[in-house]
Amino acid sequence: MLEMKESGLFDTDEDDFDTVMADDISFSGKIHFSKPFMIKGRVEGSIVSTSDLLVDTGAVVNADITAGRVMVRGKVNGNISGGRLIYVTASGSIHGDITAQEVVLEPKADFSGRCTMIRQTEGE
């Protein structure tokens, strides 16, 4: 798992990700991963993990996502369940429902959907 910064965010340096899906790759299907994953290309289907996911600037994801922490700098069309954190930057766009313990939308982030905050249980 990537180092957590004081703000609750993770490091977004490409070198810190175990897997980077390049911007010239399109994938259709189900993605499962257990280590930090960065998407720069296009994905259609579903994404499932307990680790960190970064949808980078220029990436387009048409999928439902379940991951431990999710940062969106590109476009996501689908529902996101980020157990601990969903962070959407000013360049990010989500069209779908989001569910997490913590949700951060930077000014100018594009979000269309419902937001559900889940309570943190003791020991987390």
pLDDT tens, position by position, 39-91 = 999 999 999 999 999 999 999 999 999 999 999 999 999 999 978 899 999 99
Residue 23 has pLDDT above 70, yes or no: yes
Q: Is residue 107 part of a domain?
A: no
State the pLDDT at residue 122. 59
Contact (CB, 8 A) for 25 and 43: no
State the pLDDT at residue 86. 95
| Count: domains in the chain | 1
Q: Is residue 109 part of a domain?
A: no
Q: Is residue 112 part of a domain?
A: no
Q: Side-chain half-sphere of 60: how many Cα atoms within 13 Å?
A: 6
CA angle 38, 39, 40 (to 5 degrees): 120
| Pairing mode of beta strands 75-77, 52-55 | unpaired
Q: Residue 18: which domain range?
A: 14-98
